[in-house]
Structure 1
């Protein structure tokens, strides 16, 4: 998938160095809400193990992590993952972050839209959903721009890395409602 000067593709083991650096460069702002990935990418060896595990999960259709690549520099500009997949519905939760150096350029919204389209057309999902903190206005804006509807507030639904329980907004998008 391509747009502007960016491409989207699945994360793979050969992305080890670039992915490790992406996570290190963004760790402080990701550690509360991408706690699992941050914890699994603390060292280069841990990141290698994470990527090996990712390849198996992709093969098993249990997890799909996409990276956004700046084609001019070859660097990873962002990350969108499909997690908590339930093939009985079928539905998946989406997560997204953009590298701090690529924020504010509209990359996230375009990439997110393309991955949603890919989810419905290639994977055959019936529903996409995301959970985000009520103060994450960027994620809320991208979700709403893509057609997601706020379905509710989940109280004390997530424990941050610091141990706090926080509320999360739940947004959903049905295939039939995708623009």
Structure 2
């Protein structure tokens, strides 16, 4: 467990999370698919979620990517995900992607969760630069970045192409330790 708060806790993704992960992503598909299309596509069915978790657990063992669940404490249901990806061990750099279910948004959980995951990334993994890449229209994600101590660095031109859309400019936020 990397964080244990009053309302939620954060832990590494486990096989036992398949059902709750699938429910979270299926029930939030419409609001998450624009910016997390690969994660949504990989979790359409319960069997897909089991395969996704197995693959991500292999990635965690290889230290190529880390996936954490944000869990509601009373129910132990998966309320959100934090993915630490695009790891560059030479540069000691990684990028966060994250999401939270509709019924849990607006509580400040993701801000706390990103701070906790940042502490894990720097203290346990030795990373020095953490990034969040968000579209300016995704106000919630931009606010999480800013409120978690990440600073805007630059606009990345045409770097993300959502399904059935033209390429989008994305905003790069960084936290340097």
TM-score range, shorter chain: over 0.9
The CA distance in 2 between the partners of 1:139 and 1:46, in whole Å, is 26
Report the counterpart of residue 7 of structure 2 in structure 1: 5
CA distances 1:44-92 after superposition (whole Å, capped 9, x unpaired): 2222111111110010001101111111112111111101111111111
User: How far does residue 12 in structure 1 lie from its aligned partner after superposition?
Assistant: 1.1
Report the counterpart of residue 134 of structure 1 in structure 2: 136
Stretches of 4+ aligned residues off by more than 3 angstroms = none
Question: Structure 2, unaligned stretches of length 5 or more?
Answer: none
What TM-score, normalized to structure 2?
Answer: 0.95
User: How far does residue 13 in structure 1 lie from its aligned partner after superposition?
Assistant: 1.4
Structure 2 counterpart of 1:46, from 28, 31, 48: 48
What TM-score, normalized to structure 1?
Answer: 0.94
Report the counterpart of residue 27 of structure 2 in structure 1: 25
RMSD: 1.0
Aligned partners of 2:66 and 2:85 also within 8 Å? yes
Report the counterpart of residue 126 of structure 2 in structure 1: 124
The CA distance in 2 between the partners of 1:52 and 1:74, in whole Å, is 20
Counterparts of 1:2-151 in structure 2, within 5 Å, are 2-151=4-153
The CA distance in 1 between the partners of 2:64 and 2:87, in whole Å, is 6
The CA distance in 1 between the partners of 2:151 and 2:7, in whole Å, is 29
Report the counterpart of residue 166 of structure 1 in structure 2: 168
Aligned partners of 1:32 and 1:162 also within 8 Å? no
The CA distance in 2 between the partners of 1:50 and 1:103, in whole Å, is 24
CA distances 1:32-54 after superposition (whole Å, capped 9, x unpaired): 11011111111222221111111
Aligned partners of 2:149 and 2:175 also within 8 Å? yes
